[in-house]
Structure 1
Amino acid sequence: MQQSVAAFMDYLRYEKQHSPHTLCAYQRDLSRIMQQATAGDIQGWEQITEQQLKHWLGLWHEEGLSSRSLQRLISSVRRFYQYLLTQGVVANNPARLLRAPKTARPLPVTLDADQVNHLLDDPYGQADGDPLKCRDLAILELFYSSGLRLAELAALNIDSFSGDWSQVRVLGKRSKERMVPVGSKARQAIQHWLRFRQQFVRSESGSALFLSKPGKRISTRQIQYRIKAFAREAGMPVGVHPHMLRHSFASHLLESSGDLRSIQELLGHSDISTTQIYTHLDFQHLAAVYDKAHPRARKKKDK
């Protein structure tokens, strides 16, 4: 059973070129199934039935595994069995008809435009004379300007940008490339950082755009930590993280343009249903405006 999982992971890694994060998720889900099978004295993947999988899902749900985690696990097992079918290891896919309990999808948390301006206008002058904080401000500007994912931004090189720095080529999920515009404020912040970047360059730096103090490509974990610290020093009332800036980018664009298809392209979503969650945020904004402005919606003041 372990050999089949190892072969499947190699298939995802080398042929499908999935990210390390995705590979870890598959490995974790399949290990959970394999441990349960081993405990039940099951020796091969072909011995697992749909009824057994349903029973295990019920157990894990009772133990507190969320519906979202169960949905991901089902997706992992279903795809794994599709692979085993192509390899002739099994004759059917017992996960084909499995369904996890439905759960309400939480709306993403965003910053409003005033909060974004407060953060990016650097009210405390954190970037003045400090190369690393200048780099952090450029990272923040680029997240909000172009709606990048954390891993996408960390992987950027200097040659990822077009000649005038107005566009950036991004390598997204499943190695899918897209071109994304870069706003003027982000371009200015990047150019400011480039004046300091050379002092951090080492032989192993390569062409990475954002470097750490020791001269290596900045890691995703470092970016998360630095953004949180920058926002805290700026007096932000909420904890700021990279995906919050991506959500804010999408929400503010939809609020201004209403063009869901274009936002789908900019975010790199393969399915527009993923992008549609921002329409709920937009409706919340409209509903708030309605409640404040409509004569028949306003609450009467107590007399």
Structure 2
Amino acid sequence: MDKTIIKIHNKSDRPDNIVQKENEIIEKCLEIEAALPIFMQDFFIYLKNSVALSTRLAYLQDIFFFCKYLTSETNLTKALKIKDITIEDFNSIKARDINRFLGDFCTRYTVKENNTVVIMENHNRALARKKSSLTVLFKFLFRDELIKNNITDGFNPIRLPKPQPDAIKRLEIDEVAKMLDVVDTGNGLTEKELIYWEKTKLRDKAILVLFVTYGLRLKELQQLNISSFNFSRGDFKIYRKRGKEVNMPLNKSVEKVILDYIQLERVSDDVVSEKHKDALFLSLQKTRMTEKSIRQLVKKYSSIALGTTKENGYSPHKLRATAATSLIQNGFSIYDVQNLLDHDNVTTTQLYAAHKKNVKREIVHRFEWLDEYDKKSGSKI
């Protein structure tokens, strides 16, 4: 059967590629909603208007997984299909049933794929997200008077490890320099990788420089278009979480690597399909690079800088951490860095600031009030 062609009638300021990506997520949400019980319809409207699109999809996936568990693993419902679960079934669910689902079933279960049994494990961070999804659902059903009791107070706490600044993985400044040297020279790449590198080295360098300069999220970089850049004004536009539109200033380094790529390496628009004409970063197939391919690119170059295997190379998110710590080490305040990286809470940025503790020691040691310790005075004791 022929695949339906989707055309975008876009009257907003957002680029077509972002509108199309959002539509794909919305379609996934609608598909899951159609398979869930009918009594959740008002909850779907609530999610649609109150949370980010990616959060909406995550919640729906978790709730679908829970409902599948109810029909296949428990006696809490007589329904054989998820769609047939009733509100009476949900009214009979106790907090202990949720705790068993999260604490027992979710921690380790199996999924059969063709002739293979896959063992699935969830650790505390994944369990906490599932708990959050079910908490939102059961609170809504109680508030909407569909269930009699608010059972969420009885959900067991899930302890998450407190983020430790020293555990934050990022590249040191000399490792960033080595990574950029690799993309310039090809040193460290295999013979097969060198064949592709010859065709993409300017593109790859532009991607890496953007990551370590701005700490962009993977999705923010993948969505960039040529039309995102206004070189005469010296800025470019990105679209952040929750649909925030932000203008980012260009520095000379970023402007150079972007223009070098566009003018010297990127293929002509004449050989690119209409759908991908405006995409900044193109694959060798002349289509917009996927998030997966960008992630693999970053892991490849960072692994050489780190002297490790490609599997242990760093992800784009580690380059976000690299940008944050580098900016703070260069004297920018945590509030400036928070603004640049779009952290919701400054405490997130403070984790990167903790790496500046040795600078505090240096400042104090170089600022002595007593003459016998003041190196600037030239005094000796």
Q: TM-score range by the shorter chain?
A: 0.7 to 0.9
Cα distance, 1:47 vs structure 2: 2.7
Q: Does 1:154 align with 2:189?
A: no
Structure number, greater radius of gyration? 2
- In 1, Cα distance between the equivalents of 2:44 and 2:267? 39
Match of 1:237 among 307, 328, 333: 307
1:18 maps to: 53
Cα distance, 1:72 vs structure 2: 1.3
1:264–1:31 CA distance, 2 compared to 1 (3 A): same
Q: Does 1:42 align with 2:81?
A: no
Q: Tell whether the 8 Å contact from 1:134 to 1:192 is kept in structure 2 after alignment.
A: yes
Aligned residue type for 2:133: S
Aligned residue type for 2:294: I
CA deviations over 1:117-146 (Å, ceiling 9, x no partner): 121244752499934221111000101111
1:75 maps to: 132
Q: Tell whether the 8 Å contact from 1:178 to 1:268 is kept in structure 2 after alignment.
A: no
Cα distance, 1:54 vs structure 2: 2.6
Match of 2:266 among 180, 191, 197: 197
CA deviations over 1:208-242 (Å, ceiling 9, x no partner): 1111112211100011112223345x554241321
Q: Tell whether the 8 Å contact from 2:59 to 2:133 is kept in structure 1 after alignment.
A: yes
Q: CA RMSD, aligned part only? A: 3.4
Q: Does 1:56 align with 2:101?
A: yes
Match of 1:119 among 150, 166, 179: 179
Percent identity over the alignment is 26
Structure 1 window deviating more from structure 2 (212-221 vs 27-36): it is 27-36
1:60–1:288 CA distance, 2 compared to 1 (3 A): farther
Structure 1 window deviating more from structure 2 (266-275 vs 5-14): it is 5-14
1:4–1:97 CA distance, 2 compared to 1 (3 A): farther
Match of 1:268 among 339, 342, 360: 342
Match of 2:286 among 215, 218, 221: 215
Cα distance, 1:112 vs structure 2: 0.6
Structure 1 window deviating more from structure 2 (149-158 vs 84-93): it is 84-93
- DSSP 3-state at the match of 2:237: strand
Cα distance, 1:91 vs structure 2: 4.5
Alignment of 1:87-166 (within 5 A): 88-96=145-153, 98=155, 99-105=157-163, 107-122=167-182, 125-126=185-186, 130-164=198-232, 166=234
- In 1, Cα distance between the equivalents of 2:248 and 2:44? 31
1:288–1:12 CA distance, 2 compared to 1 (3 A): farther
1:206–1:54 CA distance, 2 compared to 1 (3 A): same
- In 1, Cα distance between the equivalents of 2:219 and 2:256? 22
- In 2, Cα distance between the equivalents of 1:261 and 1:189? 28
Structure 1, unpaired ranges of 5+: 294-303
CA deviations over 1:150-203 (Å, ceiling 9, x no partner): 011001112223343733322122222333333321211110111132436322
2:141 maps to: 84
Aligned residue type for 2:201: K
Q: Structure 1-normalised TM-score?
A: 0.79
1:13–1:153 CA distance, 2 compared to 1 (3 A): farther
Cα distance, 1:100 vs structure 2: 0.9
Q: Structure 2-normalised TM-score?
A: 0.65
Q: Tell whether the 8 Å contact from 1:135 to 1:210 is kept in structure 2 after alignment.
A: yes
1:258–1:205 CA distance, 2 compared to 1 (3 A): closer
- In 2, Cα distance between the equivalents of 1:168 and 1:258? 22
Q: Does 1:174 align with 2:242?
A: yes
Q: Tell whether the 8 Å contact from 2:183 to 2:204 is kept in structure 1 after alignment.
A: no
